[in-house]
Structure 1
Amino acid sequence: MLDIQKIRTDFPILSQKVNGKPLVYFDNGATSQKPQIVLDAITKYYSEINANIHRGVHTLSQLATDAYEESRKKIQTHINAKFSHEVLFTSGTTHGINLVTNGFGSILKPGDEVLVSALEHHSNIVPWQMLCEKTGATLKVIPMDENGELIMLEYDKLLSEKTKIVTVNHISNALGTINPIEYMTEKAHEVGAAILIDGAQATPHLKPDVQELDCDFYVFSGHKICGPTGTGILYGKEEWLNKLPPYQGGGEMIKEVTFEKTTYADLPHKFEAGTPNIAGGIVLGVAIDYLNKIGFENIQQQEKELLEYGTKRLLEIDGLKIYGTSKEKTSVISFNIDGIHPYDIGTIIDKQGIAVRTGHHCAQPIMNFFGIPGTIRASFSFYNTKEEIDLMIEAVKKAQRMLS
């Protein structure tokens, strides 16, 4: 059992008041809060070893380089990548997806097909749309049902020798659905297609084993796993990363430059042009250490209890409907109340110190499927409590009375 009250003291922001009320932070799907050890690590980097990496012979540069590459190895271990050079630092999930789509621009041709799911975040839809427009490939959508689950029978039908890549989130940011990634990967590989997994919403809740999943690409953001904003990871199988062309040109990603010809650096530097977010990369490793110390089994148990309790309490409210009722689900509850716009609920409960997300959550096709403008989304983390859920319930009831 986790000592949640002790864990909460690791997060300075959780002790503050918002609008005169204790902060109840249920917007973890958008970004997580940061423990003091992460905040201290940012200060430590800039105070003690701030220098550019990979390029200097002086002591600070070597210290910064060692810390940055040690973080890469930590992440390799965390996701069980075969090689550290399969782990690329990015600015976030969106950057990682765009890096891969850029690379597939040299692979796709007219008549080829890209499969995306109906559950995707805009960042895993729009880059593929742009790529298909550029290459003449066709974008096809894996449909979902009323429970917020992808329809695997339809997925099987869509797959063909024309399919070059399948791109799907591990967990839906809007509904909390956990997708059957192992099955989807196996089926994609049967037709010779690659698969990219958007793990932005999964990595806060579980440890992805990329070798067990056998995915070709796995992307996630640091800011959702207690790390800094502007950080992320793209894992790619070595064979695929060697096959794709560089995403950007500049310093660091080159082996030799002349005006006649440039040759590119080996992995991972081929994809890491320019000065990176050095502090962010180092501190991301600190955040992962912190989460592993707590233990992902403990995190999952705590969040499972919060999901079950929150679902039960919310369904006690008359006229409330939950969207996303899949059998496999993480600690996200999207809901609406009959006759009331989600924005209005969110605005009123904010006055009570309750932070939730309202709108379409960058997943507008999901909202179109349900015929709604958006939802109120409460997304829980391991540092949240049942008592906070009770405060949210009372705030939502109060908002309902005011708006009815």
Structure 2
Amino acid sequence: MSNVSLRGLKKSYGSVEVIPSLDLDIRSGEFVVLVGPSGSGKSTLLRMIAGLESIDAGTVSVEGEDVTQRDPGDRDMAMVFQSYALYPHMTVAENMTFALRMRGMDKTTIGERLTESVRMLSLEGLEHRKPGQLSGGQRQRVAMGRAIVRQPRVFLFDEPLSNLDAKLRARTRIELRELHEKLGATSIFVTHDQIEAMTMADRIVLLEKGRIQQVGSPREIYERPRNTFVASFIGSPEINMMEGKLWFDNGTAWFEQLVLRSRGSESASLAGVAAGGYTLGIRPEGFDIAREPLEGSVPMVVGAVEYTGSDTYAFGKSPMGDLTVKIAADFQAVAETLHTGETLHVKALADGWHLFDSSGERVTGG
């Protein structure tokens, strides 16, 4: 296991700055996911760590060793690509052991590593097949096996699940995370899929235009977003964002027509926050819903109801803009009779909201 330290990394393509300047520490044995929208620089950053992209400035260190100027093959890292990149004329065993054979490793050690990797990846019986005889999921396992047999200090994954169908992708996520736990390796995983990030990561690094917006556990990122970009990117359906005025009346905090309550924790308190213009963020599950008006609630005219099996969402219009609300379990029976044009009344749950200032930075919230 090895820690990875990035200091002052910069990368530009001509006049376009892709990575302005970036610092990041990845702990030994950690599974870190780099996530962000297209063009956020996540794959470029991974390739810079691997040595596949040149670095304009800064350093990459592994376990205290500066590897910035080393060739990719001398960094003791293994990369799994989106495209599998298997040799079609080689068998599974030959693909997995190719790098070891090129290094001149003895056959006994190669055989031991191959046997262990095949067992870990449930590829028994497929060793003599060629890639064309395998399913997409099996090919991806072979690509992972090729990395595992090298026993590198760091594993790098560049959107390795994006070519799989939804069901197989979900199953492979679990298998990959279980594999990480068995190996205890340091892993850096790139994806644009927030579900992959939330379900797999020890820590998420959320990027936008090459800049780190927030680093934290999935729970920290979801429950305490640092800014409006983080709050909007993480979460499905997307968080509700409302512009308006915060004001106070006899100790009660109001955001336009909504009452903002907390359970009294200091982190959620509005003490010291001045009245004025803010952005309020409330996730779909952050509302209390009724068919009758509630104190501090707003009406929402239902435009659509979406049933997903385990959850039901109502989409509609309110005086504060378009809203998406999750129907709570105790309201499910009512949800079955909801129809377009019906009016619901929604209010913010205590600590179910987030307040952001005019620059988009978090002020306080649940």
Q: Same fold (TM over 0.5)?
A: no
Greater relative contact order (Cα 8 A, min sep 6): structure 1 or 2? 1
Which structure is larger by alpha-carbon Rg, 1 or 2?
Answer: 2
Between structures 1 and 2, the one with greater strand share:
2
TM-score, with length taken from structure 1 = 0.27
TM-score, with length taken from structure 2 = 0.29
